Chains A and B, each alone.
Chain A
């Protein structure tokens, strides 16, 4: 394909097969007066699900250290997708609404897996509690016991299915392409660092970026400036992750993160080694790695001054980029679920206060609008 710069490999073919199968299943299953085949449709969908799961596992999956998490993910994901399929193909809208409730519940499970307990609760309350009940109420108004246009016909089943799954295919293809070169990305990280440390790390990352830009630009900084800035960055980073045992300053410093985490890990390890806080340990390991990387990087920069030659400059840019990525990763490590609700409130009422107010106003307006629209005018209806 010269027109498109994409590389099509067997994995992509697998994905396309899954999508085609799913589309066929929908075409068979969607309610139509003629040519509806439930068995064929279900078979096609099951085949599609199998192929899709295999593709998912093959493309993104790795050896499974977290068995429970994986199993739960697949359980909830298949629940959401399966219920979604039922909702789409079910002739009876009341049953469709129940399927939708299952979609919501499965989604909530995924939210929990993603450490968003508050969202899980909110979604359950709002959707399962309010929307589904409301729609069951509406359904009572309409008659479902006879064959009707709205429930037993579909508009353009083939084209609609193709459009929808082509969309999915595009997204998945993009994901796959993005995924390929960075396959070594860590799993969703756990975050044990405090917001203050996060701010400090972000500042260091910003300064590193600034330094990179300076090195990149035409007007090069003087070596004194460069040294001053490097020292500043090193000190600030040291405040968080500490300094390695053998440093030029001649003393060892642990940094705030290290001090705190070492206690947690040690406490846990003291009693039973297998119950050590894995997230804290992971962050600790990462921070030690960052410390060492920073040390080597800065020493390299001192030994091979980037201003002397172009080759040196390129090397410096590369190492600075690597360091910056590590700093960023550490600062954006995930938060613990226990602190989720409080932090969410903090973010909402500090950074998004105006938006919250607007959303509240929107709800009020919608309430008034709904009452106005549904109001029965006079004795006409």
Chain B
């Protein structure tokens, strides 16, 4: 246990073991105890991950790579099983296991009495395992394998209620849409492999080789740019960025804790992590950077706009996740414009705080849903302040953090994103204009974020008490298995940001020690003006929301704003556009293929009819009489032998 790498492998083994134990051993007898393996494994993993954090921080150079073990080899391609520990992966690991632990505890209350209890926890364990493996992997193909594992688990969990057609469709959509991105990722990985001169697929080594290659041969920069854009395709799919974000809102069909896990800890952060992990390469290619930034910016404002008129509480949160992920990519897009360490720190810090408050918000929404009898439409309930006091307070904490209310976690991290953009726009990068525009976009989005968050809050918790009939007599506060995780996460959402960054700078200091990330010295800046603007915008958004929705629902929309409202409510018709531009042509193509297939089939049937007719003619000789068969055999032999004897006889 002394070896940090051993600790990391122990974490993986614990989680995988939990999954297997749950799947195999939890039969009917232990069905009610199916949540224990996950909780125990996650909890101990979280403790181990924190120990690991301390260990790695104490190291001189905080980077450890395990001895490569050949996983498989084919021709020139040799894929190793090897893991790497550095501040980036340590932070991710700790965050993932910590959040997952509380979500697991919450799940044991939320999923209580559900039919697929065992399946749920088995797949959850596998999900966390895949994410931890993804974070630790030090080989592109190993990373790819865990990446697909994450995709598979998300498919299984989103489609958890598979008997519901909408859930099945959502799972399929999530899988197929992310698949689109994954294709890019695979191509990108192979291109990177080519860039290393087919030498290695280990991430750390590949970075060094590629950096050297591109520095020595500037003409190969284009190749690298294409490879990085392909990689980014994978990130866009997995992290639900424009134009592939459409699966995420539909993924709300899964159980709410699953949404929390997908949004906060496991699935969507994979894309951000991938780009952050490849930051040394992105730093070489300005085109790739600005593409990342633009995609992030577009996603952020688009999703925020859509979120403003959604009536489904979980969908509001889902779009807000998309929007916040856009922020992270915005920060990552400044890798070249500012020091890579700064950009990565900004993105990861936002990811970190976002994990807390988004998990909190989803779990609170789940708590509301639990109490309301699985109704999540904000038009049908309201004024739950009195009914669910704990949930109300925790949701408020999360909403305030998300909105960027000063001094809460979200405020600090969002501010860091803006600062990185601002520094980028001020600096001497070739895309300063773009970065400035994107800064404005980010600020506008911040205001919109505050507005839609508090709109949801007011609609849910303020005004008259309205409870849907599905809730029956269950409209009460949730059990302690659900409220305790809420409280813990709420404390995290409120305080963790301030503790780790502006007060101690522990986060950025630690992260900046990641090998191959340069520019650590620029990290500690604080731009009062920018912070003030963002705080003003956040408070302004909240104020507008209060003015509009302070009395609770149902909401009234002024006539001049009606078109905008409709556009937002209908998600800017993106799904319809996709349907007409991609799905319908594909269906038409499929139809034509079917017609063609039928033509071919009939041709084949025509050919096959000949032997069939012949068969019908000779079928009567198959009369089942043994002696008839023997007689035919003997006669045939006689004819054959007669020919032979008379032909070759002298």
Whether the Cβ atoms of A174 and B645 lie closer than 8 Å is yes
Whether the Cβ atoms of B631 and A156 lie closer than 8 Å is yes
Whether the Cβ atoms of A170 and B635 lie closer than 8 Å is no
B153 to nearest A CB, angstroms?
Answer: 52
The number of chain A residues with a CB under 8 A from chain B is: 20
Known: A155-B628, A166-B642, A170-B642. A4 touches B634 (CB 8 A): no
Give the contacts of B593-635 with A (CB-CB under 8 A): 625, 627-628, 631, 634-635
- CB-CB under 8 A from B625, the residues of chain A are 155
Whether the Cβ atoms of A173 and B645 lie closer than 8 Å is yes
Whether the Cβ atoms of A170 and B631 lie closer than 8 Å is no
Known: A155-B627, A155-B628. A170 touches B641 (CB 8 A): yes
Q: CA–CA, A180 to B638, complex, Å? A: 23
Q: CA–CA, A141 to B649, complex, Å? A: 50
The chain A residue sitting closest to B643, CB to CB, is A4
Q: CA–CA, A155 to B634, complex, Å? A: 14
- CB-CB under 8 A from A155, the residues of chain B are 625, 627-628, 631
Whether the Cβ atoms of B638 and A167 lie closer than 8 Å is yes
Known: A159-B631, A160-B631, A163-B631. A173 touches B649 (CB 8 A): yes
The chain B residue sitting closest to A181, CB to CB, is B650
- CB-CB under 8 A from A177, the residues of chain B are 649-650
- CB-CB under 8 A from A3, the residues of chain B are 646-647
Is the C-beta of A164 less than 8 angstroms from some C-beta in chain B? yes
Is the C-beta of A67 less than 8 angstroms from some C-beta in chain B? no
Contact of B649 among A160, A164, A166, A174 (CB under 8 A): A174
A4 to nearest B CB, angstroms?
Answer: 4
A217 to nearest B CB, angstroms?
Answer: 27
- CB-CB under 8 A from B638, the residues of chain A are 163, 166-167, 170
Q: CA–CA, A130 to B469, complex, Å? A: 89
Q: CA–CA, A5 to B646, complex, Å? A: 6
Is the C-beta of B547 less than 8 angstroms from some C-beta in chain A? no
- CB-CB under 8 A from B465, the residues of chain A are none
Known: A155-B628, A170-B645. A164 touches B650 (CB 8 A): no
Overall SS of chain A's interface = helix
Give the contacts of A166-192 with B (CB-CB under 8 A): 166-167, 170, 173-174, 177, 180-181
- CB-CB under 8 A from A164, the residues of chain B are 634
Is the C-beta of A338 less than 8 angstroms from some C-beta in chain B? no
Is the C-beta of B488 less than 8 angstroms from some C-beta in chain A? no
Whether the Cβ atoms of B650 and A4 lie closer than 8 Å is no
Give the contacts of A1-20 with B (CB-CB under 8 A): 1, 3-7
Is the C-beta of B441 less than 8 angstroms from some C-beta in chain A? no
Contact of B634 among A5, A167, A174, A181 (CB under 8 A): A167
- CB-CB under 8 A from A4, the residues of chain B are 646-647, 649
- CB-CB under 8 A from B641, the residues of chain A are 167, 170
Whether the Cβ atoms of A163 and B634 lie closer than 8 Å is yes
Is the C-beta of B648 less than 8 angstroms from some C-beta in chain A? yes
Q: CA–CA, A163 to B646, complex, Å? A: 17
Known: A155-B627, A177-B650. A167 touches B645 (CB 8 A): no
The chain A residue sitting closest to B628, CB to CB, is A155
Contact with A along B200-229 (1 / 0, CB 8 A): 000000000000000000000000000000
Whether the Cβ atoms of B637 and A167 lie closer than 8 Å is yes
Whether the Cβ atoms of B646 and A159 lie closer than 8 Å is no
Q: CA–CA, A3 to B643, complex, Å? A: 10
Give the contacts of B334-371 with A (CB-CB under 8 A): none
Q: CA–CA, A1 to B628, complex, Å? A: 33
- CB-CB under 8 A from A6, the residues of chain B are 645-646, 649-650
The chain B residue sitting closest to A180, CB to CB, is B650
Q: CA–CA, A164 to B646, complex, Å? A: 18
- CB-CB under 8 A from B635, the residues of chain A are 159, 163
Q: CA–CA, A173 to B650, complex, Å? A: 11
Q: CA–CA, A368 to B552, complex, Å? A: 88
Whether the Cβ atoms of A5 and B649 lie closer than 8 Å is yes
Q: CA–CA, A173 to B641, complex, Å? A: 11
Q: CA–CA, A170 to B648, complex, Å? A: 13
The chain A residue sitting closest to B647, CB to CB, is A4
B637 to nearest A CB, angstroms?
Answer: 7
A27 to nearest B CB, angstroms?
Answer: 14
The chain B residue sitting closest to A177, CB to CB, is B649
Q: CA–CA, A166 to B639, complex, Å? A: 9
Contact with B along A103-136 (1 / 0, CB 8 A): 0000000000000000000000000000000000
A314 to nearest B CB, angstroms?
Answer: 23
Q: CA–CA, A31 to B647, complex, Å? A: 37
Q: CA–CA, A335 to B628, complex, Å? A: 45
Contact with A along B293-336 (1 / 0, CB 8 A): 00000000000000000000000000000000000000000000
Whether the Cβ atoms of A5 and B631 lie closer than 8 Å is no
- CB-CB under 8 A from A180, the residues of chain B are 650
The chain A residue sitting closest to B650, CB to CB, is A177
The chain A residue sitting closest to B636, CB to CB, is A163
- CB-CB under 8 A from B628, the residues of chain A are 155-156
A170 to nearest B CB, angstroms?
Answer: 5
- CB-CB under 8 A from B645, the residues of chain A are 6, 170, 173-174
Q: CA–CA, A181 to B650, complex, Å? A: 10
Q: CA–CA, A6 to B645, complex, Å? A: 8
Q: CA–CA, A48 to B649, complex, Å? A: 25
- CB-CB under 8 A from A167, the residues of chain B are 634, 637-638, 641
- CB-CB under 8 A from A163, the residues of chain B are 631, 634-635, 638
- CB-CB under 8 A from A160, the residues of chain B are 631, 634
- CB-CB under 8 A from B642, the residues of chain A are 166, 170
- CB-CB under 8 A from B634, the residues of chain A are 160, 163-164, 167
B650 to nearest A CB, angstroms?
Answer: 6
- CB-CB under 8 A from A166, the residues of chain B are 638, 642
Give the contacts of B80-94 with A (CB-CB under 8 A): none
Q: CA–CA, A159 to B632, complex, Å? A: 10
- CB-CB under 8 A from B648, the residues of chain A are 5
Q: CA–CA, A6 to B637, complex, Å? A: 19
Q: CA–CA, A177 to B638, complex, Å? A: 18
Known: A163-B634, A170-B642. A5 touches B627 (CB 8 A): no
- Specify which of B628, B637, B650 lies most central, judged by the most chain A CB atoms within 10 Å of its CB: B650
- Specify which of B628, B638, B641 lies most central, judged by the most chain A CB atoms within 10 Å of its CB: B638
B242 to nearest A CB, angstroms?
Answer: 72
The chain A residue sitting closest to B641, CB to CB, is A170
Q: CA–CA, A3 to B638, complex, Å? A: 18
Q: CA–CA, A1 to B647, complex, Å? A: 10
The chain B residue sitting closest to A154, CB to CB, is B627
Q: CA–CA, A227 to B382, complex, Å? A: 123
A166 to nearest B CB, angstroms?
Answer: 5
The chain A residue sitting closest to B634, CB to CB, is A163
B351 to nearest A CB, angstroms?
Answer: 71
Q: CA–CA, A301 to B631, complex, Å? A: 58
Q: CA–CA, A138 to B646, complex, Å? A: 44
Q: CA–CA, A163 to B650, complex, Å? A: 24
Q: CA–CA, A6 to B649, complex, Å? A: 5
Q: CA–CA, A1 to B634, complex, Å? A: 25
Q: CA–CA, A4 to B649, complex, Å? A: 8
- CB-CB under 8 A from B627, the residues of chain A are 155-156
- CB-CB under 8 A from B637, the residues of chain A are 167
- CB-CB under 8 A from B646, the residues of chain A are 1, 3-6
Contact with B along A146-169 (1 / 0, CB 8 A): 000000000110011001101100
The chain A residue sitting closest to B644, CB to CB, is A170
The chain B residue sitting closest to A5, CB to CB, is B649
Nearest first, the 9 closest Cβ-Cβ pairs linking A and B are A4-B646, A6-B649, A163-B634, A166-B638, A155-B627, A177-B649, A6-B646, A163-B635, A170-B641
What are some 13 contacts across the A-B interface (CB < 8 A)?
Answer: A4-B649, A5-B650, A155-B625, A155-B627, A155-B628, A155-B631, A156-B628, A159-B631, A160-B634, A163-B631, A173-B645, A174-B645, A180-B650
Known: A170-B641, A170-B645, A174-B645. 19 other contacts (CB 8 A): A3-B647, A4-B647, A5-B646, A6-B650, A155-B625, A155-B627, A155-B631, A156-B627, A159-B631, A160-B634, A163-B631, A163-B635, A166-B642, A167-B634, A167-B641, A170-B638, A173-B645, A180-B650, A181-B650
